[in-house]
């Protein structure tokens, strides 16, 4: 049983309905290549939406548009009722949209705890000078951030590894740390780009459990890009399917499994 009380309390009582994130007719071009064509979908509060499709379908490009790394050629992105289409990445992150990438991009010589603390950077208010001088308010802030990071370590069952250099740990653990760093940002929504790529079955099951804990216990909505269809069908509330940059389905996992267009494009023709 997880004991991250403050993390759970922070999400308690959030009963809002409707779309938290909305992609509206997103088109993305790179010269003459159309990576995304008129893609629209929404993500509600407490919802876990999986983005699937063949390699090159535009899944990562869509996450890059949602998080501000790419600016769409046409269309708009709305987050919590605000148009964030042209906002820089750091402003979108401050608004509460956290993103992980296919690679972990962690700091291998730093400890697990310090890597989690990197995610607290945007919430830090003390200057470098006040931190070096160790003023009382800077000390209080450091303690608060470390307490928050410790809660995340507990939530992800990493507390026994807090002082281990990340570079000495296995790939599955590093992916869990990557999730923890994103959680340290106190996001309103998580965008996870193939968080289980390269994992074995046991590692996938562990991370899937933690992702469900994030959605269910912390009530953070998630957009998940994932190739493992077994994982997608087990944990997603809704599945959005892309093919050649176009949306071809947006439905429950059960309905998507039976959609002929999806079967032909991604799951393979039945025999």
**Could you give the CA distance from residue 213 to residue 204 in angstroms, rounded to a whole number?**
14
**Could you give the CA distance from residue 4 to residue 154 in angstroms, rounded to a whole number?**
7
**Could you give the CA distance from residue 18 to residue 81 in angstroms, rounded to a whole number?**
10
Residue 92 has a pLDDT of 95
Question: Residue 253 in contact with residue 236, Cβ under 8 Å?
Answer: yes
Residue 233: closest CA among 52, 54, 61: 52
Question: Residue 149 in contact with residue 41, Cβ under 8 Å?
Answer: no
> pLDDT tens for residues 104-159?
789 999 999 999 999 887 766 554 445 444 556 665 777 788 899 999 999 999 99
Residue 265 has a pLDDT of 83
**Could you give the CA distance from residue 207 to residue 241 in angstroms, rounded to a whole number?**
22
| pTM for the structure as a whole | 0.85
Helical packing angle, 136-155 and 171-183, nearest 10°? 130
Distance of CA 141 to the CA centre of its chain: 26
* pLDDT per residue of the chain (271 residues) written in tens, 0 to 9: 343 445 544 444 445 557 999 999 999 999 999 999 999 999 999 899 999 999 899 999 999 999 999 999 999 999 999 999 999 999 999 999 999 988 778 999 999 999 999 988 776 655 444 544 455 666 577 778 889 999 999 999 999 999 999 999 999 999 999 999 999 999 999 999 999 988 999 999 999 999 999 998 888 999 999 988 899 999 999 999 999 999 999 999 999 989 999 988 865 554 3
**CATH number listed for the domain at residues 5-267:** 3.40.50.300
Which one-letter DSSP state was computed for residue 166? G
Which one-letter DSSP state was computed for residue 38? E
Which positions ≥6 away from 112 have C-beta within 8 Å?
A: 153, 158, 161, 162, 163, 164, 166, 169, 177
Distance of CA 152 to the CA centre of its chain: 15
Residue 1 has a pLDDT of 37
Q: Phi, psi (5° rounding) for residue 33?
A: -95, 125
């Amino acid at each position: 049983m997880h004991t991250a009380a403050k993390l759970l309390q922070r999400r308690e009582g959030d009963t809002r309905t409707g779309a938290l994130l909305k992609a509206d007719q997103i088109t993305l071009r790179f010269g003459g290549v159309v990576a995304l064509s008129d893609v629209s979908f929404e993500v509600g509060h407490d919802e876990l939406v999986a983005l699937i499709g063949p390699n090159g379908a535009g899944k990562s490009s869509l996450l890059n548009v949602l998080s501000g790394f790419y600016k769409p050629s046409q269309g708009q992105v709305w987050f919590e009722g605000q148009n964030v289409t042209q906002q820089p990445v750091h402003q979108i992150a401050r608004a509460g949209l956290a993103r992980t990438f296919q690679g972990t991009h962690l700091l291998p010589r730093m400890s697990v705890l310090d890597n989690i603390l990197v995610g607290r950077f945007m919430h830090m208010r003390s200057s470098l000078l006040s931190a070096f001088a160790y003023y009382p308010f800077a000390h209080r802030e450091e303690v608060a951030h470390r307490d928050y990071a410790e809660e995340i370590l507990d939530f992800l069952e990493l507390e026994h590894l807090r002082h281990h250099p990340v570079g000495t740990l296995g790939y599955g653990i590093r992916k869990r740390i990557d999730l923890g760093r994103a959680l340290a940002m106190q996001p309103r929504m998580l965008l996870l780009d193939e968080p289980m790529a390269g994992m074995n079955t046991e590692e996938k099951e562990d991370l899937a459990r933690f992702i469900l804990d994030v959605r269910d216990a912390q009530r953070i909505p998630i957009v998940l890009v994932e190739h493992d269809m077994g994982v997608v069908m087990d944990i997603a509330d809704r599945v959005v399917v892309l093919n050649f940059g176009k949306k071809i389905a947006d439905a429950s996992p059960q309905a998507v499994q039976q959609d002929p267009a999806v079967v032909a494009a991604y799951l393979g023709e039945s025999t």
